[in-house]
Structure formats: C-alpha cells, structure tokens
Chains A and B, each alone.
Chain A
C-alpha cells in the first residue's frame, strides 16, 4: 500500500479532479463547488432575461437565493425554494452525490435526498460574487482558439471514464 502511495505521489500525470458527468444545461447553466459553497445560476422559468443565484454553504448548510440584481427570492423562507432544489439536483448529476455531500459536509442516507438532509437556515450571501464567477465561466467561450505548441498540456491528457 505504501509503495502504491509513493508511486502515485511520484507520477507527473494522475487524475486529481474527478470527471464531471454531462447534463442538460438549459435550466441550470452553472453549478460549482467553490469558495466553500455549492453555488450556481438557475434560469428563471418565466423571464428569459432573469436568472437566480442560489447557494448552499458547506458546514453550516445555510441557503441563499436571489436574482442577479440582488432581489431576494420570494419563495425562500424556512424551506428550500425550487431554484435551490434544482441547483442541488443538477449538482448531484454533475458531480455525483458522494462528492457533493462530502463537500457540503452533510450526511445523506443511502438513496436519500440532499435537500431533505439539510437543516433549513436561510442566510443570504451576496449574489454578485457567484454571478461574476458565472460571467467569468461564460467568458471562456469567447477566448479564441490557439495553435501554439502549448507543451504544458502534456500534463493534462484527456482521460476517459473512470473504469
């Protein structure tokens, strides 16, 4: 076991970030585990110009949801609004239940539901931080292609599914 560990630590190419699973992006275009939160952006069902910024904080499990203009989500009081539910469902699709639960430090019973496993503290975190991370995420699609040799990428071979 120790030999395996030493071998892994002394390899240049190892998988550190587990691969994410493909999912439909139409309703929840952005989900991430970052800054100590599960956070993301949920498209409004009624207004194509509006999005909701939702998050669940790791450890405290505080819930937050507001529009990108910082207007609090009217449906969030005492229990999770549908935006937070959608965010959690899509996060589980993207990262798998284990990884999300571990990140949020929440105990989920086998076949249990993530949201029902949280206590329901509401604590609004500023939407601007998450929204600007989403805009930064979208901005990648505007970065032009490159045909430079980029030898750095030899550390990042594309890997298939975990077998």
Chain B
C-alpha cells in the first residue's frame, strides 16, 4: 500500500455512511431498552429506519413490522424483518467502504453470482434460537439477568452438535458469555450497543433457515500463504489464513481465505490453542514453515473461502509471504462478499506496506499520510509483539474499519532486532512455540488440554 493510496482512502467516511450508521445507532439504542415497553425516542428511531428503507424491496415488511413492534405485538416475523432492515443498512455501509478501499488500492474484485441455498436444517433447533433472541429483544440488554442468559444453554448445546450450524453456535455462545460476564446488565455503566445488536441481528438472520454459504466449485492449483489471522472467544479458536491462489491451468490468481476452527474452553489460552487444530497438520505445517500448498479438488465458495480439507493438500517448496505480497498481491483478483455477510466487520483486506515510520500506535507513510495500528489484535498465541511492530520496516497486515476509521492489524513484519534482520509471522507457532523461553513457560504451566481430556475421560459418559 502506497502513501498516495492511503491518501486517497482519506480520513472521512464515504458519502452516506454516517447517515446510515446513525439509523443503525437508533435501532441499537432501542434494543438496549427492549421492545416490551417502547418509549418515544426508540419508536421514532425505528420509524426512521423504516422510512429510510421504504423504497427498498423490504420496505413494506419493515414498515409493517415497526408498526406492530411499537404497538407491542412482537412476532418472530417482525423481528426478522427488523434484523433484515438493519443488515441492509450495515451491508450498504460495507459496500461503500469496500468500494472506496478497492478504488484506492486499485484492487479488482470479482462480481457476486447468486448461489443456490445450502439446504435444509433442523428447524426445531433454529426455532429454539429464535425463542431466545425474541426474549432478548423483549427485555432489552438492560433487562438481561442470569436466568435470561442460562435459558440459552440448551439451544447452544444442541447447535454445537450440528456441523452446518456451527457459525450460529459460536456466535450465540460468544454473545451469551459476554452477557453472563455482564450480569445483571442493568448495573453496567455502558452497554456495547452496536456490538450486541450486530450479534443479535446476525443470529436472528442465521436462525431463519441456516447459513447461506451457497454452492462451491472444486479447484486445484497452488496456494501461496500471505499470513494468518486468529479469532477467539472462550469456547472457540479459529485461524484464518489469507493467501493468493493460482488455479491450475493458468487462470488469474485470486485472493482467498481458508480456516480451521476448534472448540475450546476459557482456560486454554496462549500458544496452546494451536494444538487444538492439530487435525490439520499440512496447513499448520505450511504456515509454520512458510511453504506453498498444492491443492487438489478442494471446494471454493463464492465468497472466496476455500473449505480446507487437509487430505487434499500437500506442502510444496518454501515461499516467503513477503515475496508473495510484493510480486502477486497487487494483481490478484479479490473475491466478492456474499450479500448477507456484508458488514463492515468482515472487511479484512490484506495489504503490504513498507517505507514507513511507526510512532506509538500510528504508522506514517512518507507523504504525511497516517494509518492507525490495531495493536490489540496481536494475539497471545503468536510471536508478533507491539515491540516488533515498532521496530519494523515492512509489514503485511489486514485493513479493518470500525468506529469510523481504518486501522491496520499487522500479521507479519520485517524488523531489525539487535542489528539483525528478522521476519515474524502470526502463524510461526502453528506447530508449537519456537522461542525456548515460551516452550519452558508452557512446560511449567502444564498441558491444560491433557488435564481436561483426562478429566473428561473419567467423568463424561458415566
């Protein structure tokens, strides 16, 4: 990413973004207080949302739903329409932001092609989720107590047993854990209104008829890794690998993502989380050793997600992600985003930046353009630290947008440490930590996974 590109991205939001997010904020505030007894201000905010979407295909349904909800009749279909309306707004914000980013980077993005639905899902499970989400909407975040949170347990447990509904399961589990830690929410000083309304809306959409991944094409070719992002809450960890895929037969290279998620518990933290993903040694090995991956007949979804099958890949020669970024990142074709996944939070665009100076939490490119660094997103399971970022001269990162600004999450840096050049990547410990001090600390702390597995072996199924 060049200084001039960063300048083009600018500091302000694209036209209409602030106005759209104001409508979203109004909805979010209504959800803080709940729909049971809706006050004048929240009622006006919901009407404004309906008004803004009146000319859209959802217009009539949203208008009717707002009327019903304000009048105290809170049906599943009304809540679904409201969540859909909110998603339309966040989707439009996403499109404006990603469009301006693509324009600034000169990145080509393939067009979305409608894909067939994924199929049937056990509706009783989804209905169970809708019941809980409806209860949350009625009481509002301020009305959430231990009983409200606990009533989600059964639904979440059942979801975890269905692989196709895993996304909804980890979403609700994460939301429930945050609510549980905040109970009673009425005494909380500030409520994370945007975040919880985001999670609630997405959960409600997912619990209509399951996920929308659509059809897949089978692809073969070579995957060059750019780097890894790690996602985590108390009961899940997921590594998402960003890479450049070169299809066999010479079609243009494409930007893809591929990921592995593993269930965990809150006491498994730090580098130990990689061991939970040990069922995918080819991918993790390539991450740790910086190798290419030769792929045969792997499903690639319309949104650019390669559905990883470790047995359909083998590691190839060594490949430096920085070399991949310098040579290939500029020309690779980016994937379109599935319509219902369009939300600013999903933007995680890989970029390569060099020739900058780091001042605290800001990166400054030569011409005076600045980019905020998101150093909170340096996970404890990786060797990448704020100190390394501060000492870096080149960086591979993911661009995100939140809270009205763009930020850069470093996923690899080239730096000078004790006068020697080093390169550090988030995936370097995928096969276990390589720093002797960390290995020793891990050994001293004991193997949490092994202890819990031993307990599970003795106590479960009795």
| Residue positions of A touching B, CB distance < 8 A | 5, 7-26, 29, 33-36, 43, 48-49, 51, 68, 94, 134-161, 163
Tell me if B448 and A12 are in contact (CB < 8 A).
Answer: no
Tell me if B267 and A152 are in contact (CB < 8 A).
Answer: no
Tell me if A17 and B265 are in contact (CB < 8 A).
Answer: no
Chain B contacts with A in 151-201, Cβ cutoff 8 A: 153, 157, 160-161, 163-164, 166-168, 170-171, 174, 177-178, 180-182, 190-195, 198-199
Q: A145-B280, A155-B199 are in contact. Are A160 and B376 (CB under 8 A)?
A: yes
B314, CB-defined interface residue at 8 Å: no
Q: A141-B449, A158-B237 are in contact. Are A8 and B259 (CB under 8 A)?
A: no
A148, closest chain B residue (CB): B166
Residues in A with CB closer than 8 Å to B209 are none
Q: A25-B446, A29-B452 are in contact. Are A150 and B167 (CB under 8 A)?
A: yes
Tell me if B277 and A145 are in contact (CB < 8 A).
Answer: yes
- Which residue of A148, A155, A161 contacts B213 across the interface (Cβ within 8 Å)? A148
Report how far A141 CA is from B28 CA in the complex, Å.
Answer: 35
The segment from B68-76, B365-373, B378-386 that touches chain A is B378-386
- Which residue of A25, A143, A145 contacts B260 across the interface (Cβ within 8 Å)? A145
Residues in A with CB closer than 8 Å to B37 are none
- Which residue of B178, B236, B338, B345 contacts A16 across the interface (Cβ within 8 Å)? B178
Residues in A with CB closer than 8 Å to B344 are 12
Total residues of chain B contacting the partner, CB 8 A: 100
B326, CB-defined interface residue at 8 Å: no
Residues in A with CB closer than 8 Å to B231 are 150, 153-154, 156-158
Report how far A85 CA is from B157 CA in the complex, Å.
Answer: 31
- Chain A interface main SS type: loop
Tell me if B265 and A158 are in contact (CB < 8 A).
Answer: no
The 8 A-B residue pairs with the shortest CB-CB distance in the complex, in nearest-first order = A158-B379, A143-B263, A153-B231, A158-B232, A149-B305, A158-B230, A152-B171, A138-B456
Most buried by B among A16, A34, A138: A16
Chain B contacts with A in 212-234, Cβ cutoff 8 A: 213, 229-234
Report how far A33 CA is from B182 CA in the complex, Å.
Answer: 11
Report how far A161 CA is from B266 CA in the complex, Å.
Answer: 14
Tell me if B260 and A151 are in contact (CB < 8 A).
Answer: no
Tell me if A29 and B168 are in contact (CB < 8 A).
Answer: no
Tell me if B192 and A14 are in contact (CB < 8 A).
Answer: yes
Beyond the given pairs A22-B269, A156-B233, A158-B230, 16 more chain A to chain B contacts, judged by CB atoms under 8 angstroms and listed by A's residue number, are A10-B404, A11-B195, A14-B195, A19-B380, A21-B269, A25-B451, A135-B460, A146-B166, A147-B260, A149-B257, A152-B168, A153-B170, A153-B231, A154-B231, A155-B198, A158-B381
- Which residue of B190, B237, B446, B458 contacts A49 across the interface (Cβ within 8 Å)? B458
Q: How far is the CB of B362 from chain A (nearest CB, A)?
A: 15
Tell me if B267 and A145 are in contact (CB < 8 A).
Answer: no
B202, CB-defined interface residue at 8 Å: yes
Tell me if B307 and A148 are in contact (CB < 8 A).
Answer: yes
A99, closest chain B residue (CB): B181
Residues in A with CB closer than 8 Å to B402 are 11-13
Report how far A35 CA is from B276 CA in the complex, Å.
Answer: 29
